[in-house]
Structure 1
Amino acid sequence: MAKLPVSRADEKARIERLARWLDARFVIPGTGIRFGLDSLIGLVPGVGDLAMFAPAVWIIARAVALGAPAHLIVRMAINTGLDLVIGAIPVLGDLFDLGFKANLRNARLLSRWLDRTGDGQT
């Protein structure tokens, strides 16, 4: 089956949806603090943060495929690297994950760039 071309708007929406699932899908009742699968799975010592590295890298790969400039890719990679390295520190890393939300940051960076460059087909 042939794959239909995906518009930049569709790709942007898909990336934003994944970022929300990873960083802000759930709310701690009574606090307004949002968290996602990254925080939950990141609680698993040793492998949790590493497992959550894969979808974060996918977001960056999509940015590359959409033609994002090198400086944007580097900034996204730094966000993801910080999330991986600091997130791996027991307790401190879990708290960092709750506040930093690297995937939402990266989706926002890419979204702003896409908005500035237009919304044509890729």
Structure 2
Amino acid sequence: MTEMLDQPTPKMRRQIPGLGSDPGSVRQRIEAMEQLLERMFVIPGINKPVGLDVILDIIPGIGTISAAALGSYIAWEARNLRMSKWQVARMAGNIGFDMLLGLIPWVGAIPDFFFRSNTRNVRIIKQHLDKHHPETRTIDVSARR
């Protein structure tokens, strides 16, 4: 019985949105991860979104490495989409730069608050998907503001 729960079947992948390996499912997953890492909630007063990436940077060492590992998931999805090595390397550079900023205890959260490497990486993937898989395109309401 537990063996059935370990691996989703093709039928389950079709029924549960975002679980498949198709470009549309990948878009859903990376957008959800970016939401978690960069825009989990809005700081009242300054009206600026904050996510797990900035929160983890407050924890010296371990938090920064954890945030980089979570951000690397987005680059891994890009690799699975067979994006060019240049694009994946650019995303890795964003993650590395973000990690270097976060290595400065406490103060590292401030530049990370403005750099937003995960948002940059999701933008790279979305440009690729819009060009090569236009059927996955969604309307971004926040871009119109």
Q: CA deviation at 1:88?
A: 1.1
Q: Distance in 2 between matches of 1:59 and 1:6?
A: 14
Q: How many positions carry a matched residue from both structures?
A: 121
Identity, % of aligned pairs?
31
**Match of residue 55 from structure 1:** 70
Q: Distance in 1 between matches of 2:41 and 2:62?
A: 22
Candidates 14, 20, 37, aligned match of 2:29: 14
Candidates 102, 108, 113, aligned match of 1:98: 113
The 5 A counterparts of 1:19-98 are 19-98=34-113
Scaled by the length of structure 2, what TM-score is found?
A: 0.77
CA contact (8 A) 1:42 1:49 kept: yes
Q: Distance in 2 between matches of 1:8 and 1:76?
A: 18
Q: CA RMSD in A?
A: 1.7
Q: CA deviation at 1:119?
A: 4.6
Q: SS of the residue aligned with 2:83?
A: coil
5+ long unaligned stretches in structure 2: 14-19, 137-145
State the structure with more CA Rg.
2
Q: CA deviation at 1:8?
A: 0.4
Scaled by the length of structure 1, what TM-score is found?
A: 0.90
Q: CA deviation at 1:102?
A: 0.6
**Match of residue 16 from structure 2:** none
Q: SS of the residue aligned with 1:109?
A: helix
CA contact (8 A) 1:80 1:102 kept: yes
Deviations 1:55-106 (Å, cap 9, x if unpaired)?
Answer: 1111111100111111110110010000111111124311111101111110
5+ long unaligned stretches in structure 1: none
